[in-house]
Structure 1
Amino acid sequence: MRLASCRTRRRTRLRAAVLVACGVPALLAPCTAASGAAAATGPGQPPGLGGDGVVTVTTRGIGAPGNPAVGVVPFTDAVYRTCADAPQTAQGCQMIGGVPYAYEIGRLEVTVEQWVAFLNTADPTGRDPHDLYDDTESASAWPRYGQIDFSAGAGPGRHYSVAYPQWAAKPYGFSTFLRAARFVNALQNGRVLSRTTSADGPSRTVTYRVALSPRTERGMYDLARRAPTRTRATGFVVPSQNEWIKAAYYDPAGGGTYSYWKYPTNAGVFGDGDATAPNPTVLTPATGDVTNAADQPLASYHASGKPAPAWCPGQVSPEDCTTVNPIGLDPVSYPKLYQGSLSTVGQAGTPSPWGTLDQGGNAVEWTDTVTPPPAGQNGARVWRRLHGGVSNAEAFQMWPSAVGLQPQDNDFYNHTYPWLGFRIGVIGGMGAGA
C-alpha cells in the first residue's frame, strides 16, 4: 500500500530508532521496543509459472499420521519426551510436532515470481485495497533488498514486476500472515489445471499447476474475521505450527532424539550449541546463487564467526547496495544491521527428513497457528507462530524450540524486515479440476 510522504517520514524515523535499539535478526524472539513500536504504528529448481496468473506449486507428502510430539522450552537446546520431563521455567514448555493426519507441505518457499503473478491477478488495477505491496519492496527504495517494482502507468494486470531477474527464484520476503492467507485463497478459489504425483525417497512429490483466482477475501481463510482460521477440511493452507515442525524435524526412520532432528538439515546433537549446525551458504555476489552446494549439510544463515550469506543485484552500484535504505539508517548502522540475504530457493540442497528444502535458514516462515501474545502484551492484536531461522540470524533460530511469534499484521516488520516468507500446505488432498 503506497503511503503519503509525511506518514512515511514519521514511520521511518520510528523504525530506525527501534532497529538501532534492538537489531533486526531477532524476529523470533521479539524485542520489547520493537513490539511496542509495532503496536503504536499499526506490523533446487524453483517452482515456475505457466502463463498469466498460473503458478506451479510442488509439495511433499507428509505421512506417519499420529506421530509423537516432543516437549520444548522456547529457544533452549533440548527436546523432551513430555513436558513433565522438562525443567520448570517461566518460559513454560510446549508440545510440538504431533500431527494426527497425512498432509502435504511445499517443497520450497513461495518465490518472488509466484508472488508477482499473484499480485497482478489479485490487484489488476494497481490500487492495492488489501495492502499487498509497499514501496519499501521496490528496487528504487531499497536497492539491496527490493524484490518487486510497481508501475502506475502499466496496463491492467501488469502493474507489478520482478525488480531484477535474480530475484525471481528467491523467497518472497515481505509477507505478513494476512498476505500469505490471501495468496492461499487465490489458490483455493483458483482452478487446478493439473496434478501429478511421483514417488521420491521417504515421501512423494506432488506438483499442482493452478490458475489463480482474483478472489482473495474468502476461501480457506475468511479475511473478514479478526483471526482467520481454516474454514474447509480440504485444500491449500498456510501450514500450522505442528505441520511445519513435523515436516522439518520429525524423522519417520527414528533418527535424532525421540525421532526429532535438531536442524531441518541434519540430526545434530541437542546440548552442543551450534557445534553440529549445518554449514552456511556462500552466495554469488551479484546473483544470490549458492556456490558451495557440495558443503553438505548446508543452510542460509549467519554462522557464528563467519560472514552472513550476502549478495546484491549486479545492476546496483556497490555504494547503493551498502548505504541506500528506506528506513533512514546511517551508512555505519545499516550494514551492521542488514547483513544476510536470501538465496535462490532449493540451491542449498539439504533435505529435511521428508525431502523439503530451506526450512532451515533463508526466510523465516509464517504458520497459521494463533497463539497468546507474549508477556507484557495485551490482546489487541492477533499473534501467530513463525519458524525456520533466517539468513541474518544464528543457528539457534533453526532449532525446533525456536517457537517464535509475531502479530499477523506487524507493520513494523513488514516494512523493515526483508526475510519474512511462507510456504504452502495441502490438507485433505486436491485434484485436477477442483
Structure 2
Amino acid sequence: MHVAFRRTLLNRTIMTACGLSALLATSVTATSGAAADERYAVTGGSPSLEGTAISLTTVKVGAPGNHSVGILPFRDALYRSCTVTPSPKDCLRVGGVPYRYEIGQLEVTVEQWVAFLNTVDPEGRNRLRLYDETESSAAWPKYGQINLSPDAGRGRHYSVAFPQWARKPYGFANFLRAARFVNSLYNGRLISKQAGSKDGFQYVTYQVALSSQTERGMYDLARPQTTRVHRAGFVLPSQDEWIKAAYYDPRGGGTYSYWKYPTNPGVFGDGEATAPSPTVLNPDTGDVTNAATQPLASYHADGKPAPSWCPNQLIPDACSTVNPFGLDPTLYAKAYQGSLSTVGQARTASPWGTLDQGGNAVEWTDTITAPPSGQSSLRVWRRLHGGISNASAYQMWPSAVGLQPQDNVFYNHTYPWLGIRIGVIGDLKPGKP
C-alpha cells in the first residue's frame, strides 16, 4: 500500500473496478483518557447545547530551535542537510521546530470520537459526513468501530460498537474530520489543566467540554487550504512537529540526534534489521500481550502474521468473511490483515514520551504538500506519518512522508487505519473557551 504506502490488493482491485487512482499516506497521534459521564454547558456552540467532557494527555516537546535533517522519501537514509543527498531536488528538510509545543501522548480513541459525534450531531443526521456506514459492526465486523442508531435519544445516536473498541484509535479519519474534532476542542471549554512528570517526561492532562461548533476555530473550513488561524490552542501537528516528537533525541542519540523509529534509535541503512518487535494481540480484545518485549510496535513484520483480533461477541467466521465490499474470503484475507491495538499498551516511548507513533494507525498532520509527482490536482493534499498495523517496518521511518487528499472519500470507505493525534500550541488557560 502506498500512502505514499504500498497499495494493498484491495486498493488495486477496487481502483481498477472504479477507475480510481490515489495514494495512501502516513499519520498524526493524539489523546488519552476516557470520555467522562458528566455533561457541561459549552461556550461557542449553539444555545443550550451541551458537550461531553473528555480528557486528553499531551507530552511537552522542548529544545526549541533544534536542527532539521534531510530525507529522501522512503529512502533508508538520513542526511545532515539536503545539499549532501544523492538527489537534492527530491530532498525534504524535516524535524526542526523553533518553539515549544505539546503533542498527544496517544492517538484519539474511539470513545473520544463517539463523544465528539454525539456532541456535534446530537440528532444523528450526519450532515457533516463524519460517519460512514462501513464503520458499523454490522457492515464490517472486523473493523467496524462505531454504530449509528437512528431511533436512539438525542445525543445518543452514536455508540462504541463493542467495549473492546473504546480504547482503540479511531481509524476512519480524513483531514476534514480531524480538523473538525480540533475545532470542537478549540471552541469548547477548558475545564482543567494539570501538569506532571513521569520517567523523565513532562505531561499535561486537559479536561475539555466539547463544542458543537466545528466549521471555524483553529481551522477555517470554509477555506480548502486552511492553516492555523490562531497562535494558541488545540491543533493537528505539523509534519515537523510530528517528526520531532517521534524521532528527535535531545540527548543526542541516534543519527544526527534523530532515531530511525519512534521506538528506538535503530541503524540507518540496515533495512529492517533493527526494527522494534511486533505486538502480539489478545485475539478477542486487541490488548497487547507481549509488552514485556521491548522495543515494541503494532506493525506487520516480514515473515510473521500481522497483529489481529476479532470481537468475541461475533460468530467465529464473521471477521474473516463478512466485509462491505463483497470480497471473497481469500482476497479479503490478503487485503485486510492488521488490526488496531489498544492505545499505549506497546509501552515503548519516543524520545519525548509519546506512545504508538510507530505502528497502529497512520496519523494526519496539517501540513499541505504538492500532489504526487506527475499529477495535477485541484484537491488539497496533506502529509501523514506513523506506520500501520498491516504495513512493514519501513512505514515507521522518518522518511515515510505519506500524502493523501484531505477529503479522500474513497479511503473513508475502505481504509480503517487513518488516525488522529492532537497537538497544543501556546499556553492554554482553564475557564476560557
CA contact (8 A) 1:38 1:410 kept: no
Distance 2:5 2:388 in 1: 12
Determine whether 1:375 maps to 2:364: no
CA contact (8 A) 1:26 1:393 kept: no
Q: How far is the alpha carbon of 1:414 from its aligned partner?
A: 1.1
Distance 1:84 1:29 in 2: 26
Provide the secondary structure at the position in 1 that maps to 2:83.
Answer: helix
Q: Which of 37, 44, 50 lines up with 2:20 in the alignment? A: 37
Q: How far is the alpha carbon of 1:328 from its aligned partner?
A: 2.0
Provide the secondary structure at the position in 2 that maps to 1:119.
Answer: helix
Q: How far is the alpha carbon of 1:46 from its aligned partner?
A: 4.4
Name the residue aligned to 2:68: 69
CA contact (8 A) 1:186 1:213 kept: yes
Please list, as runs of the form range in 1=range in 2, the aligned pairs for 1:294-305 lying within 5 A after superposition: 294-305=292-303
Q: Which of 202, 205, 210 lines up with 2:203 in the alignment? A: 205
Determine whether 1:120 maps to 2:106: no
Please list, as runs of the form range in 1=range in 2, the aligned pairs for 1:11-410 lying within 5 A after superposition: 25-29=1-5, 34=15, 37=20, 46-51=32-37, 52=39, 53-88=52-87, 92-410=90-408
Distance 1:350 1:332 in 2: 34
2:5 aligned partner, one-letter code: A
Structure 1 runs (4+) greater than 6 angstroms displaced: none
Distance 2:265 2:344 in 1: 19
CA contact (8 A) 1:63 1:203 kept: no
CA contact (8 A) 1:241 1:368 kept: yes
Distance 2:318 2:53 in 1: 34
Distance 1:70 1:243 in 2: 13
Distance 2:175 2:248 in 1: 24
Distance 2:100 2:199 in 1: 17
Distance 1:333 1:318 in 2: 18
Please list, as runs of the form range in 1=range in 2, the aligned pairs for 1:404-423 lying within 5 A after superposition: 404-423=402-421
Note the aligned Cα RMSD (angstroms): 1.5
CA contact (8 A) 2:82 2:88 kept: no
Name the residue aligned to 1:7: none
| Equivalent residues, number | 404
TM-score, with structure 2 as normaliser: 0.91
Provide the secondary structure at the position in 2 that maps to 1:50.
Answer: strand
CA contact (8 A) 1:300 1:361 kept: yes
The percent identity for this pair of structures is 67
TM-score, with structure 1 as normaliser: 0.91
The C-alpha deviation readout for 1:113-167, integer Å capped at 9, x for no partner, is: 0000000001011111111001100000000000000000111111000000000
Provide the secondary structure at the position in 2 that maps to 1:183.
Answer: helix
